[in-house]
Every structure is written in C-alpha cells, then in structure tokens.
Amino acid sequence: MWPLLLSFLFILLLAVARN
C-alpha cells in the first residue's frame, strides 16, 4: 500500500508544480 500512496503524493506534487 505504501508504494501506491507515495506514487499518489508524487503525482500530486507534480500537479502542484505545474501550476
């Protein structure tokens, strides 16, 4: 479950960085 959570947080971080 942790890898999935980390990947989700990473994608969220990228989304924030794009704005």
Going residue by residue through the chain (19 aa), what tens digit of pLDDT does each one get?
Answer: 789 999 999 999 999 999 8
CA distance 13 to 5: 12
CA distance 11 to 1: 16
Q: Return the pLDDT at 10.
A: 98
Q: Return the pLDDT at 9.
A: 98
CA distance 10 to 7: 5
Q: Return contacts of 8-17, CB within 8 angstroms, 24+ apart.
A: none
Q: Return the pLDDT at 17.
A: 98
Structure tokens at 13: 């971080």
